[in-house]
């Protein structure tokens, strides 16, 4: 039996697993590149679910790096 899939936005294309992995890799590369460029910030308009799916693809070391970055970002917002 084939599972019925859907998306939140009817006009949106459902990504394949490979596309989601590639998006996660591009996001990771962008985050690392931005961090290395004198902490310049780039605003991205990405659906939250895409970010969550990308995070699910990260390895333990990458998750630790992301957690560290999130902690730094949250600490910066508190000042």
Residue 3 predicted with pLDDT over 90: no
If one compares 52 and 78, the residue with the highest pLDDT of the two is 52
Tokens of 11: 């006009």
pLDDT in tens, 12-33: 777 788 888 888 888 888 888 8
In the chain, % of residues over pLDDT 90: 23
| 40-75 b/e (C-beta count within 10 Å ≥ 16 → b) | eeeeeeeeeeeeebbeebbeeeeeebeeeeeeeeee
Mean pLDDT of 44-68: 90
Q: Residue 67: pLDDT band by 50, 70, 90 thresholds?
A: very high
User: Residues near 41 by Cβ (< 8 Å), separated by ≥ 6?
Assistant: 34
Domain boundaries, the chain: 17-77
pTM of the predicted model as reported, rounded to 2 decimal places: 0.42
């Amino acid at each position: 039996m084939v599972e019925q899939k859907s998306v939140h936005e009817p006009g949106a294309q459902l990504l394949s697993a490979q596309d989601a992995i590639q998006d996660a890799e591009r996001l990771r590369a962008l985050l690392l590149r931005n961090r290395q460029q004198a902490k310049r910030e780039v605003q991205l308009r990405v659906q939250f679910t895409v970010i969550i799916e990308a995070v699910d693809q990260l390895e333990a070391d990458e998750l630790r790096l992301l957690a560290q970055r999130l902690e730094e970002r949250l600490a910066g917002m508190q000042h």
